[in-house]
Chain A
Amino acid sequence: MWSELRALRDGIDLGTPPRDGEPVTLSVDGIPVTVAAGSSVLLAAGIAGCTVPKLCASDTLEAFGSCRVCLVEIEGRRGYPASCTTPVDEGMQVRTTSDMLAKLRRGVIELYLSDFPEGDIDGGWSQLNTTLDQVGVHRLADDHPYRSGANHQGGVLDMSNPYFVFDQAKCIVCSRCVRACEEIQGTFALTIDGRGFGSTVVAGQNESFLESDCVSCGACVQACPSDALIEKSLFPGGYERADSSQA
């Protein structure tokens, strides 16, 4: 049931919120599509039926540009812009697949996998799993050079909230929970602490979720693409951290 529900949601989540500007027509992989001015290329691609992998984007949140798997190519522009943060232009020609895009997306996914519990990938049904399917990478090879690097697999496991857990081992630091708390709930209970590789999601002033200003609304759990925030009710025997041999 869960996988069907997730598939349904992934299918209808256009990645960025709708806009109400004047109509703009562009082409995505040769398919003409008309969307409102101010819309993202990611949204236009979704409407055109071209699936662009994404992790940090959701149409319930403003575009953020952190995960870098929704990269596309745009005719006449340099580089590989993130489609979520790139607004559409009249006559724009977008390509959502190419050898280089596939290589870059694989490269980014390998970085995620190098700090993610391997045991949580098989049979998983989070948005991350959908994205892994789309990019075509599910685990690092046994001799992959990224193995045995620094990681957060021994990080915080916060079970203080009665309804959900936060498992830092599965957190990909996409800030969807932080943004949901801010944009949807207006509670501002979550933030990112530290910087670089040390960036972590924390509640309140680095407190437990229960001690923080969190009101248990569940917007963060709903927003989490990697099940780092997940309902306790799904684990009748109690939540247990998965095997982390990947890292």
Chain B
Amino acid sequence: MTARVFVPCDALSVALGADEVAARLVAETAARSLDVTVVRNGSRGLFWLEPMIEVDVGGMRHAYGPVEADDIPSLIDAGLLDAGAHRTNLGPTDQIPELERQTRLTFARVGVIDPRSLDDYLAHGGFDGLRRALAMSPSDVVDEVEASGLRGRGGAAFPTGIKWRTVLGAPASPKYVVANADEGDSGTFADRMVMEGDPFCLIEAMAIAAHAVGATHGVIYCRSEYPHSIATLEHCIGVARQYGWLGTSIAGSVLEFDIEVRVGAGAYICGEETSMLESIEGRRGMVRPKPPLPALEGLYGKPTVVNNIITLASVPWILAHGGAAYSGHGVGRSAGTLPVQLAGNIRRGGLVEVPFGITVRELIEDFGGGTASGRPARAVQIGGPLGAYFHNDQLDTVLDYEAIAAAGGLLGHGGVVVFDDTVDMAVQARFAMEFCAVESCGKCTPCRVGSTRGVELIDKIVLGEQRSANIAQLEDLCEVLEHGSLCALGGLTPYPVRSALQHFPEDFGQRNQQDEHDAQENI
């Protein structure tokens, strides 16, 4: 019987040498006349163990990692194909503690299957959700999504069912489904892992959305920095067309729907939904005012579902298992699971899918194992480059949309970036303003001019120039950015700036004597 050995093919594993590992495995097993098939799977998301290879022994997967190409001969000598003992042996994959403690609904198949294999997808429950959806009326599908409590995972956390119902109710045609894969937040990679690890799930989700709202055409807008995702999606869309999962009469129904991949040109702002629509239409990526909502006047002015990849990838599970099963996970108004991305200065970085309700501390200590440097964690940025910095005394904050907001932050796309006690928070605050300045589309004045002024103010504060006047001006500027900006880029930049200033004032330079004098007089 042919033994199957799995070597991840996603961008991160490849960057760590997975291609060399796979090639060596093929060469070495051929040289020894061993009957082995090397399967390229997605990453399990245990990044500190990548490249992590797995061998299937009697239906159970055993993991080894991190593995280098030069380890292959000794691995085979040690009996890799029978899960033999080796320095890199991690035991049964499902029993790796950081994996065992997760609740993988959206990521159930990621790392398990060969992402390019339709057979593998079907053998693991693929298209069950679409089959069930096609047996239901569009309105019932929307009801199921509403019942799940699913909220947009791109950052805005808007209830997905309500958005879909708006598009379903819009009279205009044609309608579109746009998947936002412009995953630009620093420290996030969940969208990429889905596209490279379970791409048919995204295709299935978009077909379900198409049936639910009456759309005929789908677009996946993927950032150009994800070449592996783009190649995988293009391949799988071709396969789906060939086997009748896209095109006309999908799965024998009347559903007609097709998908194309559009590639961004490197602008963070094109992850903002209206800029993305402008970009897809072939124009400069500039933010459109809302209203009109994209749900009513979106792509080419027609009703459009715009959803993040993780939002969409959660839908097939919801349709296959029911909305109630999904909403049974999580807490309060944060239903279901969140694929959290642990990054920055952390020992065990990677993807952790857990129900809402876990604390930030559990995430970074229990799953992440603390900092990579071994020094104490000082700050944690939650929700990408526009998210607030949390002080290490706030780590018991519960991970759900409302609790994070109550603590002055936002959950965003689920990125969690850890910093140890060597971080300079004034540098981080400056970075937030600089990020806004670099990525601003230039349409509205608070963001276009204000972000540059923000960088200048922080530079002066750090140098101790008229510190109190510059801090007061920075606070005023944050107010103008928050309330005056056209979109969330300018509107949310104050979050990292203010939180850094509030929780880490000691990093913002020494008060000079004149300031001390002014402060005295003000008393």
Q: How many residues of A contact B (CB 8 A)?
A: 39
- Count contacts between A and B, CB distance < 8 Å: 112
Q: Least Cβ distance of B465 to chain A in Å?
A: 9
- Pick from B289, B439, B449, B485: contact of A114, CB under 8 Å: B449
User: What residue of chain A has the Cβ atom nearest to residue B290's Cβ?
Assistant: A85
Q: Which residues of A contact B452 (CB under 8 A)?
A: 149-150, 196-197
Contact status B457-A195, CB under 8 Å = no
Q: A107-B477, A194-B442 are in contact. Are A199 and B448 (CB under 8 A)?
A: yes
| Interface residue? B484 (CB, 8 A) | yes
**Closest residue of B by beta carbon distance from A87:** B291
Q: Is the CB of A197 within 8 A of B466?
A: no
Q: Which one of A71, A86, A197 lies within 8 Å of B449 (CB-CB)?
A: A197
Interface string of B340-351 (1 = CB under 8 A from A): 000000000000
Q: Which A residues lie within 8 Å of B486 (CB)?
A: 65-66, 68, 82
Nearest B residue to A149 via CB reads B456
Cα-based distance from A71 to B486 in the complex (angstroms): 11
The interface residues of chain B, by DSSP majority, are classed as helix
Interface string of A31-74 (1 = CB under 8 A from B): 00000000000000000000000000000000111111001000
Q: Point out the residue from B267, B289, B444, B469 that lies within 8 Å of A63, measured CB to CB.
A: B289
Interface size of B by CB at 8 A reads 38
Contacts A146-B453, A192-B284, A197-B440 given; does A66 touch B445 at CB 8 Å: yes
Question: Does any Cβ of B come within 8 Å of A103's Cβ?
Answer: yes
Q: Is B120 engaged at the interface, CB distance under 8 Å to the other chain?
A: no
* A108 interface residue (CB < 8 Å to B): yes
Q: Is the CB of A145 within 8 A of B443?
A: no
Give A150 to B433 CA distance when docked, in angstroms.
14
Of the candidates B269, B437, B441, B444, which one forms a contact with A68 in the assembled complex, judged by CB atoms under 8 Å apart?
B444
**A111 contacts the other chain (CB 8 A):** yes
CB distance from B260 to the nearest CB of A (A): 26
- Cβ of B83 to closest chain A Cβ, rounded Å: 53
Please report whether the interface of chain A is mostly helix, strand, loop or mixed according to DSSP: loop
Determine whether the beta carbon of B291 is less than 8 Å from that of A86: yes
Q: How far is the CA of A86 from the CA of B291 in the complex (A)?
A: 7
- When distances are taken between beta carbons in the complex, the residues of chain A under 8 Å from B479 are 103-104, 107
| Contact between B442 and A196, CB atoms less than 8 A apart | yes
Contacts of B447 in A (CB 8 A): 196
* In the complex, chain A residues whose CB is within 8 Å of the CB of B470: 145
| Cross-interface CB contact of B289 among A85, A104, A149, cutoff 8 Å | A85
When distances are taken between beta carbons in the complex, the residues of chain A under 8 Å from B437 are: 196-197
Q: A148–B321 Cα gap in the complex (Å)? A: 61
Asked whether B108 is an interface residue with its Cβ less than 8 Å from the other chain, the reply is no
Assess the B291–A111 pair: CB atoms within 8 A: no
Contact of A197 among B269, B442, B483 (CB under 8 A): B442
14 new A-B contacts, CB < 8 A, other than A64-B289, A107-B477, A197-B442, are A66-B444, A67-B444, A80-B484, A107-B476, A111-B450, A111-B453, A145-B457, A145-B466, A150-B456, A173-B448, A191-B284, A195-B269, A196-B437, A197-B451
B residues with CB within 8 A of A: 267, 269, 284, 289, 291, 436-453, 456-457, 460, 466, 469-470, 473, 476-477, 479-480, 483-486
Q: Which residues of A contact B (CB under 8 A)?
A: 63-68, 71, 79-80, 82, 85-87, 100, 103-104, 107-108, 111-112, 114-115, 143-146, 149-150, 172-173, 175, 191-192, 194-199
Identify 11 residue pairs between A and B in the complex whose beta-carbon atoms are under 8 Å apart, listed by A's number: A68-B484, A71-B484, A79-B483, A82-B289, A85-B291, A108-B445, A145-B470, A145-B473, A146-B473, A195-B442, A197-B440
